[in-house]
Amino acid sequence: MQSKTIILIACAALLLAACTSQPAKKTLIDTIPNTPSELIYNDVLSESFTSMNVTVLGVGLGMSENSVLQKLGPADNDEQYDFGAIKNWAYAEKLGFTQTAVMYHFEKGILTRIIIGPAFNHFLSGTSMVGKNKSVIYGAFGLPQRQYDIKTGRFFVYNNLGLEVYLDTHDVETQYAFVYPMRKLPSLATTNATVDPLNPVMPALITDTTTLCNQGPTFGQNPVTQECKPFTNSCTIPDSWVEVKSCANTTASTTNLTIPTNSS
C-alpha cells in the first residue's frame, strides 16, 4: 500500500513538473515591446510628444493595414466604408474586454487615426488615462486650436500635437485619438459620428474631412475675390481659401489638398 502511494505521489510530481515546464501561452499584450514611445508602458501624454512618436500596442501612424495585421492579428470588429477605402478595426475581446479598447482607422490602406477608449485604461496611467475633465485637459495641453460639436458632445483638436480629445455633454473625456499633426482643419464646426456596436458611447468614426498639409511653398486663392498669393505651406492658407497650383492665372485648378467644407 505504501509503495503504491509513493508511486502515485511520484507520478503526480512528474505530471506537475511536465505542466509547469511548458511555457505559458503569450497574450497579445505580452508580445508588445517596452519602448519609450509605447502608450501601455509610459504616460506618454504627460511628456513632450507628438502623435508621430507614439505607438499603441506597437502600432504607429502611417503603418499599412498589412503591417498592423501582422502585429495584432484580425480585429474583433472590422467596419468598411467607401468600398473599403476607409476601415475601422476595433479591438476588444482580444484584449480581454467586452467594449472596444482601441480602434485603428485606415484611409486607403494607411493608418491615419488611433482612437483610445476608456476600457484601455486598464493598461494606462496618469494623464494618458481616459476620463479627464475639461480643466485637466486645458492644464495638460492648453486651449485647442479648434472645437467641433458632435452627436455625443464635442471634441477638441490640438493640431500641433496630432491629438483629438472627445468629451461628453458634461465635458468629461470619453476617448482621445492620435492623428497626423499639422493637418488642415475643416472650416465648419459640426461633424457627424457613427456608433461603435461594441460601445455605444464611443463613436466608431468621426468623419475625417482633414487632409495632410503640404509643408512646402504653395499658393492660395480666394474663391470670392479671386485674389491669389503664395504661402509658406498649405496649413497657413485661410479656411475660406483653396490651395491652387500657381497664381499664374485665376483659373488655376485646385489640387487634392483643397480645403474641405463639411456640412451636417
Domain ranges of the chain: 31-208, 213-264
| pLDDT for 262 beyond 50 | no
| pLDDT for 118 beyond 60 | yes
**Confidence class for position 191, pLDDT limits 50, 70, 90:** low
pLDDT at 82: 78
pLDDT at 161: 94
Distance CA 173, CA 127 (A): 11
Terminal-residue alpha carbon distance, the chain: 83
Average the pLDDT over 94-113 and give the result: 92
**Confidence class for position 235, pLDDT limits 50, 70, 90:** confident
Distance CA 220, CA 242 (A): 6
**Confidence class for position 126, pLDDT limits 50, 70, 90:** very high
Among 42-46, 98-102, 236-240, name the one with the lowest average pLDDT.
Answer: 236-240
Among 38-47, 63-72, 211-220, 223-232, name the one with the lowest average pLDDT.
Answer: 211-220
pLDDT in tens, 7-43: 444 444 333 333 333 434 456 788 899 999 999 999 9
Distance CA 192, CA 150 (A): 6
Average the pLDDT over 63-83 and give the result: 92
CATH of domain 31-208: 2.60.460
| pLDDT for 234 beyond 90 | no
Higher pLDDT residue, 113 or 28?
113
pLDDT at 249: 53
* Percentage, residues of the chain above pLDDT 70: 73
Higher pLDDT residue, 235 or 51?
51
| pLDDT for 150 beyond 90 | no
Higher pLDDT residue, 188 or 23?
188
pLDDT at 248: 72
Q: 81 to each of 85, 178, 229, how far by Cα in Å?
A: 6, 20, 37
Average the pLDDT over 97-118 and give the result: 93
CA angle 170, 174, 178 (to 5 degrees): 130
pLDDT at 27: 67
The CB-side HSE value for 230 (13 A sphere, CA atoms) comes to 5
> How far, in whole angstroms, is CA 247 from its chain's centroid?
37
Single out the residue of 99, 67, 102 nearest to residue 88, CA to CA.
Answer: 102
Average pLDDT over the chain reads: 79
